Amino acid sequence: MTDSFTFRLLATDGKARRGVVSMPRGQVRTPAFMPVGTAGTVKAMYLDQVRDLGSDIILGNTYHLMLRPGAERVARLGGLHEFARWPYPILTDSGGFQVMSLSQLRKLTETGVTFRSHIDGQRFEMTPERSIEIQGLLDSDIQMQLDECVALPAKPKEIERAMELSLRWAERCKTAFGEQPGKAMFGIVQGGDVAALRVRSAQALKAMDLKGYSIGGLAVGEPQAVMLDMLDATCPELPEEKPRYLMGVGTPDDILKSVARGVDMFDCVMPTRAGRHGLAYTRRGKINLKNARHADDPRPLDEESDCPAARDYSRAYLHHLVKSGEALGAMLLTWNNLSYYQKLMHDIRDAIEARAFVERSAEISEGWARGDLPAV
């Protein structure tokens, strides 16, 4: 255990990086996938299961938690780790993204954002300082600066304005965060789909000497190629000795291609959300359990998996659960999906250590391309 927040690079293979982020609550092996625990729960999972799958860290959403149960309440109850029974590292977003996508009647100024809760219409003000205060009340280990994330496509002028505002907010967040040796506050690179703006944002944040760097405003509707171009522009501008977190990304394929460009950390609702919609991520690609072809199929999703959800239950049973709207369907498919994502990260880390990332990536992609087993 460590008293401070550190990042160690253990190996590289091309631009792909194998490292470890250490903090008092534990170590995060990178490249890492962080399951999303929006409201203090990774949906349809016991957190023991999430841990057992190899998750070193989970993500909490500041916007959701500040509205319900409320940051001050979580603090009184001992913080988010105690509240949700997850004693390991937690990363929180700033709340900004969801304020812009979910809340009502929002108004953005230099100071911050005022908005009304999508739950009960209550009025809130979110400033860079308040975002850091809330994340502190939650006792988050890795906190995010408040930023403005513009939806793409957007005009370059608008992208630039939001990027510049985000830089000023990064300074305010850094000041508000102060010195907290065991914790980190990450800056967020913005700049939309304009490489030159991404570079300026990354350079300015680098000059602030933060403990880590997020890449935000991607996977917001643009083609994958645009996202990868932005990573190509951004990653070389970020310091080697700090972790890099690509926010809200993504599909297994997005992750492989982003690791190849030097990204260390990921979060995404896909494995959990897909699990509630009858979709399974597997080494043979994505499988839709709603499809009638599975109704009489006694085979499991993946007989070679270590995960009971993937290995022990027939597709016929999973199909039945999904068609019947049974909670166990979501429970098993979410379990399978997080298992697959964490297995993917495990394989990625192994491959980088073995300096075989390109070959292993190609094998994984070929498995997806071959697709599912023929129907019975």
Instruction: Summarize the annotated binding site for substrate as residue ranges.
Output: 93-97, 147, 190, 217
Q: What is the Cα–Cα distance from 275 to 335, expressed in whole angstroms?
A: 8
Query: Which amino acid belongs to residue 185?
Result: M
State the number of binding residues for its own copies (CB under 8 A): 34
Shortest distance in whole angstroms from residue 84 CB to its own copies: 7
Q: Is 68 in the site for its own copies (CB under 8 A)?
A: yes
Residues 313/332, Cβ–Cβ less than 8 Å: yes
Q: Is 84 in the site for its own copies (CB under 8 A)?
A: yes
Q: Which of 9, 11, 39, 108 binds its own copies (CB under 8 A)?
A: 39
Q: Judge whether 267 counts as a catalytic residue.
A: yes
x-or-dash string of contact with its own copies, 266-305, rule CB under 8 A: -----------------------------xx-x-------
Q: Judge whether 93 counts as a catalytic residue.
A: yes
Shortest distance in whole angstroms from residue 198 CB to its own copies: 36
**Diameter over CA atoms, the chain:** 61
Cis-peptide, bond into residue 250, ω within 30° of zero: yes
Token pair 């030159």: residue: 196
Where do the H-state alpha helices sit in the chain?
A: 47-52, 62-67, 71-76, 80-84, 96-102, 128-137, 156-177, 195-207, 224-234, 252-259, 270-275, 308-311, 315-323, 327-353, 357-370
Q: Judging by beta carbons within 10 Å of its beta carbon (0-12, 13-18, 19+), is residue 298 exposed, middle or buried? A: exposed
Q: Is 374 in the site for its own copies (CB under 8 A)?
A: no
Q: What is the Cα–Cα distance from 55 to 316, expressed in whole angstroms?
A: 29
Q: Which of 2, 14, 76, 158 binds its own copies (CB under 8 A)?
A: 76
Mark the segment that binds its own copies (CB under 8 A) among 90-98, 201-209, 234-242, 313-321: 313-321
**Which residues contribute to the site for its own copies (CB under 8 A)?**
39-41, 43-46, 68-69, 73, 76-78, 83-85, 295-296, 298, 312-314, 316-317, 319-321, 323-324, 326-328, 330-331
Which residues are catalytic, by number? 93, 267
